[in-house]
Amino acid sequence: MRACTWLTVATLALSACTNDLDAPWNYQGGTAESGDSGGGVLDIDCGTPPPAAVGATFAHTVTAMGGDGAYTFGGTLPDGLAIDPASGSITGVPTMAGAASLELTVTDGSGGMGTQSCPLPIAEHVDVDLALEAVPYCITGAPGDTLQQAIVPGTGDGSPITCDHPGGSGTGDMPQGISLDPDTCEVSGSVTESRYGTWAFMVRGQQSGADVWIPYCVSNTTQGTFTITADHSGRTDNALEPLMRLFDPAQAVFAGDANDPIIRVVDPGACEDGSCNFFGFSFFINASAFDIAPDVYDDDGDGDTDEGKPIVVDGALFDDANGDAIGLSHGLRLNSNAPIGAPLDARTWIVNLDLDYCLGNNNGDCPENDISGSADGFFVFSVIMVPQP
């Protein structure tokens, strides 16, 4: 007699037929279903995923075991990540911080399926702490005072950070004679420019493709022929401190208020007898997010609205206690006239102004078409713009 029967054990179904014996004896062969294709239970090994952070490039590969070996991976992953169906390679850039997980699936050629949930905490985007209560609102780049030491604990993926000073609008200017080590983020060298003042410049840190920015400052403390002083931000005689302003990314950005800053330029030689009756100045502003194009306003009151916006304002000779003209004083005014667009609306940025001054006894001493050529006073003044926290 030939008989057939079924035996079900847990989720594993086996089918076979006997020859002449009564069931359930003499079973032969079988087929695996529901996750077991003869090679063991189908499963996923998450391994140890590397740390993840918003904005940082992520890469990790999971593996499968059991089943018949013809694996296809899938699942639900945090925003910004995707899995390669054939290799199990997970790549991408996370977009949201928090306690996330990789909800993974794998199927084999026989239709078996395995699932696994792998925790994947995602840290906040790498960030730095710019101490706004401290002057001068930038760091020196010396050992112990670098971008790397300013990283906010718990942000970023913890991988090595490299630094550079790229060009472009809002990055400021690194003076001649100064260099930046890409691995330590330290500056070295001495300023070789004769211009007096402080250069502020943005340093970019890069960690797994994520960028973070912080301002550095380097000064030349040696005065040239002229004596240059400045008062600003509620303090006096702080020409070597950059001017810092907080800005609202949704509003027009400005720097410079009435009598803040006030810059004074004195020629101890030519003006010592009080005979400085003429002055001249020129300025250069590096790649700037401030708008200096012509506008519709009559800035200097001469009836002409087709002119560039003034940067140096309220220039005038000033007298000593005896009433003798000894130098030039002026303010600064910078305005974007519109909100700053990306990417500067989300990070600190900088401009440097190179100012050349001339003081003389007569108009010919400071020709309008050659102020720089006739100048004896040279000053660099930096402005640091910080988004409101």
pLDDT tens figures, 101-117: 999 999 999 999 999 99
* Residues 160 and 185 occupy one common structural domain: yes
> How far apart, in whole angstroms, are the C-alpha atoms of residue 300 and residue 123?
52
Residues 156 and 23 in one domain: no
Of 86-95, 319-328, 360-369, minimum mean pLDDT range:
360-369
Q: Looking at residue 273, what is its pLDDT?
A: 64
Residues 97 and 225 grouped into a single domain: no
Asked if residue 309 and residue 220 are part of one domain, the reply reads: yes
- In-domain check, residue 271: yes
Q: Does 58 fall in a domain? A: yes
pLDDT, tens digit, for every residue of 18-54?
444 444 433 333 333 444 445 678 999 999 999 999 9
End-to-end CA distance of the chain: 87
Domain that holds residue 60: 43-123
pTM over 0.85: no
Can you give the C-alpha Rg of the chain in angstroms?
35
User: Pick from 55, 123, 344, 56: which is nearest to 213 by CA?
Assistant: 344
Q: What is the pLDDT of residues 124-143, one digit of tens each?
A: 999 999 988 889 999 999 99
pLDDT for the residue numbered 8? 35
Residues 71 and 191 in one domain: no
From the centroid of its chain, how far is CA 276? Answer: 46
CA separation (Å) from 322 to 229, 263, 315, 327, 329?
Answer: 20, 21, 21, 13, 17
CATH code for position 69 = 2.60.40.10
184 is a domain residue: yes
Asked whether residue 304 carries a pLDDT value surpassing 90, the answer given is no
d(CA 290, CA 12): 72
Query: pLDDT (tens digit, 9 = 90+) per residue, 74-87?
Result: 999 999 999 999 99
Tokens of 339: 């909100």
Reported as type and span, the H/E element at residue 374 is helix 371-374
User: Cα-Cα-Cα-Cα dihedral of 249, 253, 257, 261, to 10°?
Assistant: 100
Question: Is there a contact between 73 and 61 (Cβ–Cβ < 8 Å)?
Answer: no
Strand residue runs (E) in 232-387: 243-247, 252-255, 262-266, 278-285, 312-319, 325-332, 334-339, 349-360, 377-387
202 and 332 share one domain: yes
Asked, for residue 211, whether it belongs to a domain, the answer is yes
Asked if pLDDT for residue 315 goes beyond 50, the answer is: yes
pLDDT at position 183 is: 98
What confidence score (pLDDT) does residue 181 get? 98
Question: Could you tell me if 298 and 368 lie in one domain?
Answer: yes
Is 141 inside a domain boundary?
Answer: no
Q: Is residue 136 part of a domain?
A: no
CA–CA dist 285, 295 (Å, integer): 18
129 inside domain = no
Whether residue 364 is found in the same domain as residue 278: yes
For residue 154, is it within any domain? yes
> How far is residue 282's CA from residue 277's CA, in Å, rounded to a whole number?
18
The Cα 352–Cα 348 span in angstroms is 14
Let me know: does 379 contact 228? Beta carbons within 8 Å: yes
Asked whether residue 185 falls in the same domain as residue 55, the answer is no
Q: Find, among 248, 170, 239, 176, the residue nearest to 203 by Cα.
A: 170
106 and 209, same domain (yes or no): no
For 240-291, write each residue's pLDDT tens digit: 999 999 999 999 998 998 889 999 998 877 666 666 778 888 888 877 888 6
| pLDDT per position as a tens digit, 357-367 | 988 877 677 87
Cα 117 to its chain centre, rounded Å, is 34
Report the domain count for the chain: 3
Q: Are residues 205 and 229 both part of a single domain? A: yes
pLDDT band at 302 (very low <50, low <70, confident <90, very high): low
Same domain, yes or no: 47 and 21: no
